[in-house]
Structure 1
Amino acid sequence: MRALTKTLVGFTAAVGIAAGTLAGAGTATADSARAAENAQAAQAAVNAEAAILATQNFGLSSQQAKNVQCFLRTSPASYTGAIDGQLGTNSWKAMQRWLRAYWNYNDSIDGDPGPNTVRALQRMLAHAWDYNDSIDGIAGTNTRAAFKRFANEMSVFYPC
């Protein structure tokens, strides 16, 4: 009888261990699936934030940004994107091409209006749109005000 009891207890323990291992595997699989879903949600949030950051109007209204896009469409910058009032990557690539051709922009055409793009923009704005501050690559208050004057003037010469 003792041998039978020992066998049953041993068998029950083995079954319990196996069941626990399988249950743990099921939990681990569920945890992995949850982690993958969380990673996908986090990536979607990063992509959404990147899309927002990709638009940089430097204080222009949507209409003023449309004026700039209309100018870029008719200039040698060859802008072919939508006239949507959002100065995104394609708008800035076109602006960089134009700044390269006329305002000593010598960085990559990447659509990122970083400091070198802003410096070239400031040189252009100093020429005819009353920008009289430092050529420092920072799109501060005076740069934004001159960019607005430029955008408003573009509506006269390059209407959409």
Structure 2
Amino acid sequence: MRALTKALVGVTAAVGIAAGGLATAGTAVADTSPAPRSAVAAAAAYNNLGLTKYQATGVQCFLNTSPTVNLTEDGYLGPKSWEAMQEFLNRSWDRNLVTDGIVGPATIKGLQYFLKHGNWGYTGKIDGIAGSGTRAAFARFGQATAKQFC
């Protein structure tokens, strides 16, 4: 939500500059009201953490090997895919995550733990930040599982 507010403030400033400059605009107040639900839903619809559609489909194919999971293998890791990933990390890697489909720091930590201890080449800290090392290891996992399970 902070990022959305910052984006709105940035857009407001850009519009003000384009309309003749902020110096002559008088006192301006950024609109901090929530964005329309459809804009928020579109931005939060999926989070592939840098995976290609092929790699994300591989993750979904892998998650679908669980008898309790029935994902559409479309290459977009949305809330249902992340819920399934959270369930997998809890069940197979003893992670104790809330299964809410939100890709927050706790989910990233669980993923990092799996990518490190599951031998996917993650060597960084388990810090909940999806940096380049996390993304690269997740991409290796997605690529391999696409070949194996799809």
TM superposition score normalised by structure 1:
0.67
Matched, 1:92 2:59: no
Task: Deviation per CA, 1:7-29: give whole Å up to 9, x if none.
Answer: xxxxxxxxxxxxxxxxxxxxxxx
Task: Deviation per CA, 1:74-124: give whole Å up to 9, x if none.
Answer: 135x33121111100000000000000122321311000111111111011
TM superposition score normalised by structure 2:
0.72
Larger radius of gyration: 1
Secondary structure (helix, strand or coil) at the match of 2:141 reads helix
Say what the alpha-carbon RMSD is for the aligned residues: 1.8
Question: Which deviates more from structure 2 when the two are superposed, residues 101-110 or residues 139-148?
Answer: 101-110
Structure 2 residue corresponding to 1:137, chosen from 128, 139, 142: 128
Confirm or deny: 8 A CA contact 2:116 2:123 kept in the other structure: yes
Indicate the residue corresponding to 2:105 in structure 1.
Answer: 115
List structure 1 segments (4+ residues) > 2 angstroms apart after TM superposition: 42-52
Task: Deviation per CA, 1:26-69: give whole Å up to 9, x if none.
Answer: xxxxxxxxxxxxxxxx9783333223213110000111111110
Q: Distance in 2 between matches of 1:43 and 1:115?
A: 23
How much identity, in percent, do the aligned residues show? 46
Confirm or deny: 8 A CA contact 2:58 2:146 kept in the other structure: yes
Secondary structure (helix, strand or coil) at the match of 2:64 reads helix
Q: Any stretches of 5+ residues in structure 1 without a counterpart?
A: 1-41
Q: Any stretches of 5+ residues in structure 2 without a counterpart?
A: 1-32
Q: Distance in 1 between matches of 2:134 and 2:98?
A: 21
Higher RCO (Cα < 8 Å, 6 or more apart): 2
Q: Which has the higher helix share?
A: 1
